[in-house]
Amino acid sequence: MKRTKNTIGKEISLFNLKSEYLLIKHQIDKAISKVLLSGSYSLAIEVENFEKELAAFIGIKYCIGVASGTDALTLALKALDLKKGDGVLLPANVYPSAFGVTLSGVKLQLCDVDPNTLNLSVESLEKVCNKTTKAIITVHLYGNPVNMTEVMAFAKKRKLFVIEDCAQSMGAIFSGKKTGSFGILSCFSFYPTKNLGGYGDGGAILTNSKKLYKRVKSLRMYGEIARYKSNEVGHNSRLDEIQAAILRIKLRYVNRWNEKRRKLAFIYREQLKNLPVKLLKEEQEGKSVYHLFVVYVNRRKALTRYLQKRGILTGIHYPISIHLTEAFKYLKYKRGAFPVSERSNRKILSLPMHPNLRENQVIEICKNIEDFYRSSSTVNS
Ligand SMILES: Cc1ncc(COP(=O)(O)O)c(C=O)c1O
């Protein structure tokens, strides 16, 4: 599609990973070179140090680096010894979490979400939780913490494990504590677009339990309890030294970059508040880190095209609910089973959000959204 420039004259992308790299290029290049010259490329000093530093950042005792966020979910569930047929609850709108959960062998049970936050709805948990349910996965979607007071109380009453999926919420806070410090285990992804993203794939599992730490560590490497001594068939899910070295540097910037995201989100909120766009709410005791800035919009397709023509690129996270995805049809949920999630798939739009986005670019994006609705209301009237 031919793009006419917005008034800033440059394309505004959803993420801008290269600009972030260029800011810290010197340190990153040095760290990569150090690893290459060390001759140790897997599960060595960089991974060990990164695990310690991430555990301290979240406020948890143990951390195990793994190969992806998907593996983190699979290994976490396997470490709990959940059996085939045991139910694990997951919100229906978190497409990328469904795979890691399912690959662990448990039975995926879906719940609906709160329309104001698009995080899981405790009301829906009440409805779908049954005798087979053994665990809940709380996904702090778009970086906005789930109300963990409510979820932990719900889980305690029913003796369910809580596992946090923090793939999108690195550094987010609920009630004074970091996300990832509430559940028995928490899972992180370092996919490049994440708030703490590597330059390849990576993930981590955190826990305060020494027993679970040892189990996950063994599952990460063939199920070994000592070299060449394996009591179960484990995975190969190692975080590599280069990614760990990169992540150690970027971890030092996460708080600063999250603050920038929050500042940009504030500007979006101010600029959009009088437009026909519905904003998501932050949880009252929560501090979101705005991995994504997602809004509900009308006439999404036309708006997306309008913005694209003006060099403003958007995304949809996510366009389909888990139960309507071909791969999960076997779960036999009907269309309409999770109406809030399904409606959100048709209405949500992710606007550009990354720490190097400038305030005038946010204003420009909002001005273009305003122009779209003004011109379309003239057309419609
Ligand atoms: C909420 C959530 N969970 C899990 C994952 C899976 O992580 P990965 O892509 O590192 O396997 C993602 C990544 O997209 C995610 O956003």
The set of protein residues with a Cβ atom below 6 angstroms from ligand 1 is 68-70, 94, 96-97, 139, 165, 167-168, 189, 191, 201, 203
- Report residue 184's pLDDT band, with 50, 70 and 90 as the boundaries: very high
Q: CB-based contacts of 211: which residues, under 8 Å, 6+ apart?
A: none
Q: Which of 77, 97, 163, 170 to mutate to test the pocket of ligand 1 (most atoms within 8 A of CB)?
A: 97
Could you tell me the distance, in angstroms and rounded to a whole number, from the CA of residue 203 to the centre of ligand 1? 9
- Tell me how far apart the alpha carbons of residues 204 and 138 are, in angstroms, rounded to a whole number: 16
Could you tell me the distance, in angstroms and rounded to a whole number, from the CA of residue 228 to the centre of ligand 1? 31
Residue 273: pLDDT over 80 = yes
Tell me the C-alpha to C-alpha distance, in Å, between residue 356 and each of 15, 16, 23: 9, 7, 9
> How many Å from the N-terminal Cα to the C-terminal Cα in the chain?
28
Q: Are 63 and 47 in contact (CB under 8 A)?
A: no
User: For residue range 317-326, what is the model confidence (pLDDT) as tens digits?
Assistant: 999 999 999 9
Classify the C-alpha dihedral 259-265-266-268 as positive or negative.
positive
User: For residue range 144-177, what is the model confidence (pLDDT) as tens digits?
Assistant: 999 999 999 999 999 999 999 999 999 999 999 9
- Asked if the domains at 21-112+120-251 and 254-380 fall in one CATH topology, the answer is no
59 Rama sector, left if φ>0, alpha if ψ -120 to 50, beta otherwise: left
Q: Which of 15, 68, 70 to mutate to test the pocket of ligand 1 (most atoms within 8 A of CB)?
A: 70
Atom 12 of ligand 1, residue of closest alpha carbon: 96
Residue 379: pLDDT over 70 = no
Look up the CATH number of domain 254-380.
3.90.1150.10
At 376 the pLDDT is 78
* Residue type, position 163, single letter: I
Domain ranges of the chain: 21-112+120-251, 254-380
Residue 381: pLDDT over 50 = no
Percent share of the chain, pLDDT over 70: 97
Q: Which of 168, 179, 187, 350 to mutate to test the pocket of ligand 1 (most atoms within 8 A of CB)?
A: 168
Helices (H), 59-133: 69-79, 97-103, 122-128
Tell me the backbone φ, ψ of residue 323, rounded to 5 degrees: -70, -15
User: For residue range 202-238, what is the model confidence (pLDDT) as tens digits?
Assistant: 999 999 999 999 999 999 999 999 999 999 999 999 9
- Tell me how far apart the alpha carbons of residues 197 and 316 are, in angstroms, rounded to a whole number: 20
At 7 the pLDDT is 72
Q: Which ligand 1 atom is at minimum distance from the Cα of 202?
A: 10
User: For residue range 74-120, what is the model confidence (pLDDT) as tens digits?
Assistant: 999 999 999 889 999 999 999 999 999 999 999 999 999 999 999 99
At 312 the pLDDT is 97
Q: Which of 78, 134, 178, 194 is catalytic?
A: 194
User: For residue range 296-341, what is the model confidence (pLDDT) as tens digits?
Assistant: 999 999 999 999 999 999 999 999 999 999 999 999 999 999 999 9
- Tell me how far apart the alpha carbons of residues 205 and 207 are, in angstroms, rounded to a whole number: 7
Q: Taking residues 340-365, report their average pLDDT.
A: 97
Could you tell me the distance, in angstroms and rounded to a whole number, from the CA of residue 180 to the centre of ligand 1? 15
Residue 35: pLDDT over 50 = yes
What class has domain 21-112+120-251?
Answer: alpha beta
How deeply is 236 buried, as exposed, middle or buried, from its count of CB atoms within 10 A (0-12, 13-18, 19+)?
Answer: exposed
Q: Which two tokens stand for residue 306?
A: 């309008």
Percent share of the chain, pLDDT over 90: 94
Residue 261: pLDDT over 90 = yes
Q: Describe the crossing of helices 69-79 and 210-220 by its angle, rounded to 10 degrees.
A: 120
Whether 159 is catalytic: no
Q: Taking residues 117-132, report their average pLDDT.
A: 96
Average pLDDT of every residue of the chain: 96
Residue 378: pLDDT over 70 = no
